[in-house]
Amino acid sequence: MKNIVSNKDFPSSKNFTYLNTANVGLMLNKAEKEINDWVKDLATNGSNNFNEIAEEDVFSSLHNSAAKLLNASPSDIAAGSSATELLSSLAWAIMPSKDQNIVSTNIVFPSTVYPWMRVASSTESEIRLVKEKNNFISSQDIIDLIDNNTSVVCISHVEYSNGQVFDLGLLSKAAHKHNALLIVDATQSAGAIPIDVKQTPIDAIVCGAYKWLCGPFGAAFMYVTPELSEKLEPGLVGFRSHKKMWELDASRIVYPDSAKKFEFSTMAFGCALGLSKSINFLNKVGVNNIFKYNRELADILIDKLRSQSACITSPLDNSRSSIITAYYKDKDSNKIIEHLKNRNVYVSKRGKAIRFSPHLYNTIDDIDNAVEQIDSIITKI
């Protein structure tokens, strides 16, 4: 298996065995440099260089790179500080009414559903959560909950806790059949799993930077179709919400005619610039190539875990991703994780399972090392 990135791109990846991208990804070194350079310039020069023109135009590189990632148009991308922030603005903008419902799952990452719950507590709309069975969500169960009163189906493309990948084409068809919107949280997939909005009609996608996109905390983006964006008034607004932000006209808001209407304030702008660098890098490597590479790593890991008689709790069929969860019968996962950490192998615990999440900077050696370290302790605990 040939590596697809060089050590120079992720210099720390050889200092330890990092199998924890579903928690926080390693940052591309060029993204880190971009962020640090921006902070240094601001600290040293105030707004001499980062002037009003630069501030107004600051998101254009992220609009372009994120659009390329999703095969969308740059005008359909909004930048923000976090996936949760952008989704909250969208949820208030859509504001499902009392007779409408929102469909999601009961194991989704809380931030994917909490914004809808908050809106529902004001509007009395109904939240319908598909119950997991044996830790998995059946797509048919999601489809069965959608009816003509469904306003939104909001799911995470990949479930953070078990790595299950949803078929967005299937859910898009099911939602649109009832005139409901499909809104996708791609924080656990974008950068690792291809998403093409021209092939798969999705109404909105939110995505944070700091996992599979190898970017920082403090930046995110949202894709919204022009048809939906045109109908909506953002839930969060500020001076940047005005079409000509530097008019600073407190008497009215005229929103931009694009997804930019969801950009409303200042933020740690360097983070958006850094994120754009990392997305450009991933676009160049090719998300299709990353997907294949990660799947090979995941499949090798699955085989090795099976040979240790681990109970694998992530999917083994085509809905698998490179988030692999497993536990060992009668063994405390916490003890195994602690042992791994002491040997410079980093993973997370989710539920009772150990969560491994390799990405493009990992190699077979990382997988071998993690499994060998588990081997060395498993009979002793």
Ligand X SMILES: Cc1ncc(COP(=O)(O)O)c(C=O)c1O
Check residue 348 for interaction with ligand X (CB under 6 A).
Answer: no
Pick 38 or 210: Cβ nearer ligand X: 210
Residue with Cβ nearer ligand X (188 or 362): 188
**Residue owning tokens 């930046």:** 219
Smallest gap from residue 209 Cβ to ligand X (A): 7
Residue of this chain nearest to ligand X (CB atom): 208
Minimum CB distance to ligand X smaller for 94 or for 371: 94
Identify the residue among 25, 74, 96, 208 touching ligand X (CB under 6 A): 208
Minimum distance of ligand X from residue 289's CB (angstroms) = 23
Q: How far is CA 341 from CA 10, 302, 338, in A?
A: 20, 20, 5
Q: Which is nearer to ligand X, 145 or 271 (CB)?
A: 271
Total residues binding ligand X (CB under 6 A):
13
Q: What is the Cα gyration radius of the chain?
A: 21
Q: Which two tokens stand for residue 301?
A: 């890991």
Q: Is 160 in the site for ligand X (CB under 6 A)?
A: yes
With respect to ligand X, which residue has the nearer C-beta, 155 or 297? 155
Cβ at position 165, least distance to ligand X in Å: 12
Residue nearer to ligand X on the CB measure, 207 or 282: 207
Q: Please give the full DSSP string across 224-245, using - where no structure is assigned.
A: E-HHHHHH---SS--GGGSSSG
CA 178, 183, 189 angle in degrees (round to 5)? 135
For residue 185, state whether it binds ligand X (rule: CB under 6 A): yes
CB of 271 to ligand X, least distance (A): 11
Question: Cβ neighbours of residue 31 under 8 Å, at least 6 residues apart?
Answer: 214, 215, 216, 274, 275, 277, 278, 281
Binding of ligand X by 188 (CB under 6 A) = yes
Report in angstroms the alpha-carbon separations of 364 from 12, 294, 353, 358. Answer: 17, 10, 22, 10
Residue 34 interacting with ligand X (CB under 6 A):
no
Closest separation between CB of residue 183 and ligand X, Å?
12
Pattern 91-130, ligand X, x by CB under 6 A = ------------------x-xx------------------
Residue 322 touches ligand X, criterion: CB under 6 A: no
Which one among 17, 20, 21, 84 touches ligand X, defined by CB under 6 A?
A: 84
Regarding 189 and contact with ligand X (CB under 6 A), the answer is: no
Distance from C-alpha of 37 to C-alpha of 233, rounded to nearest angstrom: 35
Smallest gap, in angstroms, from Cβ of residue 222 to ligand X? 11
- Three-state SS for 8? coil
Q: Which two tokens stand for residue 326?
A: 């497993």
- What one-letter code names the amino acid at 357? S
Cβ proximity of 242 and 253 under 8 Å: yes
Q: Is 235 in the site for ligand X (CB under 6 A)?
A: no
3-state secondary structure of 248: coil
Cβ 230 to ligand X, closest distance in Å? 26
Sole binder of ligand X in the list 105, 151, 162, 187 (CB under 6 A): 187
User: DSSP alpha helices (H): ranges in the chain?
Assistant: 29-45, 52-57, 60-70, 83-94, 110-123, 139-145, 168-177, 226-231, 269-285, 287-307, 333-342, 364-378
Classified as helix, coil or strand, 55 is helix
How far apart are CB 135 and ligand X at their closest, in Å? 16
Cα–Cα distance measured from residue 193 to residue 183, given in angstroms and rounded to the nearest whole number? 17
CA contacts within 13 A on the Cβ side of 255? 18
Q: Toward ligand X, which CB reaches closer, 287 or 374? A: 287
CB 365 within 8 A of CB 351: no
Please identify, among the stretches 180-188, 195-203, 260-268, 296-304, the one whose residues bind ligand X according to the rule CB under 6 A. Answer: 180-188
Q: Is 156 in the site for ligand X (CB under 6 A)?
A: yes
Q: Interface with ligand X includes 362 (CB under 6 A)?
A: no
Asked if residue 220 binds ligand X (CB under 6 A), the reply is yes
Cα distances (angstroms) measured from residue 24 to each of 215, 300, 358: 9, 22, 11
* Contacts with ligand X, residue ranges (CB under 6 A): 82-84, 109, 111-112, 156, 160, 185, 187-188, 208, 220
